[in-house]
Amino acid sequence: MIKKKSKIFVAGHNGLVGSAILRKLKKKGYKNIITADRGKLDLTNQSKVLAFIKKKKPNFIFIAAAKVGGIYSNQRYKAEFIYSNLSIQLNIINSAHVCGIKDLIFLGSSCVYPRDCKQPMKEDYLLNGKLEKTNDAYAIAKIAGIKMCESYNQQYKTNYKCLMPTNTYGPNDNYDDLDSHFFPALIKKIHKLKVKKKKNLVLWGNGSAKREVIYVDDIADACIHFMNKKVKENLINIGTGKDYSVKEYAKIMIKIINPTTDVKIIFDKTKPNGTPRKVMNINLAKKYGWKPKTNLNSSILKTYKSFLKEHK
């Protein structure tokens, strides 16, 4: 059991998920939280990570640090994606073991499951088929992290849990034109139409790809829930269990962000769709007492308001 005074290291505390975990920990009264900016600690440097963890001696670690991006960057920078993510995971997980830290949560992604995976995706479907080529380097790194945690648990009797969130959105997201995921990219594109008073919304692919999304505060809630929960399984899906097409998400967002303009959606079919469908089976998480709490429409509005504050 992690007590309110326990030392908790949040790796990646400035990112979308890490910052949400930090907010939720503080809200729940955890006082002894350890963080380190990228300038102070290079998580890809093995010796520096080990020295940091030896010095700080946390009781629990959240690995929310990762190199992430959308379809463009995943295809363009495969080498960086596989190197950075493997390095971060290997360094933190092994350093935790060396320093006698028995408890951590490693955060992955729904892209670890096969491209043509049976839907909804169960934890048992891991490694049962070929990955989506546009993000296979990132996915392989995350799979390695899952297997590393599993191996350390078996050999060293650690309690390293792997939570696999679906597509995440919320405050502190990445809205870069080429480097963002589809959800923040949609928010930014629709906002630009509103500001410039234009009507044509151009989207990659044909709009048929289906995606499940989850508000980042729900992921943070799941992280803290499972931090204090004994589980038999190494891998647990975190999502909503519901999905919509990219076209449907665009229509929902237009009504919330730009309801007064008659927006026309145009699809650039020369660009890839990515995986045809990704929706999680979250029965295991529910079995352990967790389920998402946030409404889609209200959370989109919250996210848009935070976008406006972050991009004045």
**Does the annotation count 138 as an active-site position?**
yes
Residues paired with 204 in a beta bridge: 268
Q: How far is CA 122 from CA 275, 276, 279, 311, in A?
A: 16, 17, 9, 38
From start to end of the chain, where are the E strands? 8-11, 33-34, 60-63, 103-107, 159-165, 167-169, 200-204, 210-211, 213-215, 235-238, 244-245, 264-268, 277-278
Cβ(41)–Cβ(52) under 8 Å? Answer: yes
Please identify which of the residues 30, 72, 138, 215 carries the catalytic annotation. Answer: 138
Helix-helix angle 136-156:78-98, to 10 degrees: 10
* Length of the chain in terms of residues written: 312
233, 164 in Cβ contact below 8 A? no
Contact criterion met (CB below 8 Å) for 83 and 42: no
Positions marked active-site: 138
